[in-house]
Amino acid sequence: QLQLQESGPGLVKPSETLSLTCSVSGASITSSGSFWGWVRHPPGKDLEWIGSVSYDGTTYYNPSLRSRLTITADRSRNEISLRLTSVTAADTAVYFCARDRGHYDIDQWGRGALVTVSS
């Protein structure tokens, strides 16, 4: 059974870098046709697709975050990671790791990790 587990600091200071890791079990992130990415849910706002990395290492980013965002895949550990630089309070959200079957077809979600940006 596929499981996605987010981990990382729950509190980040403004202007610093938000870093999260998603450990994937029950499936390989190199499985053909699969995409692995991140969605966030700021309090009181809409869910927002952040970006993803495909089975072959190609990355796809939301244009609104592209200048601050890096998503990487570690095939040896079967993990993906998210780095978001120069964070502000607007980046406070629950961050979900997710499997995407293509065309943003998210069929599996992690439990989510709350990240608060505050000094």
- Sites of contact with another protein (CB under 8 A): 46-49, 60, 62-64, 96, 103-107, 109-112
Nearer to another protein, 36 or 96 (CB): 96
At its nearest, how many Å lie between another protein and the CB of residue 16?
A: 25
Cβ(4)–Cβ(98) below 8 Å: yes
At its nearest, how many Å lie between another protein and the CB of residue 13?
A: 27
Nearer to another protein, 103 or 119 (CB): 103
At its nearest, how many Å lie between another protein and the CB of residue 26?
A: 16
Nearer to another protein, 55 or 60 (CB): 60
Nearer to another protein, 16 or 48 (CB): 48
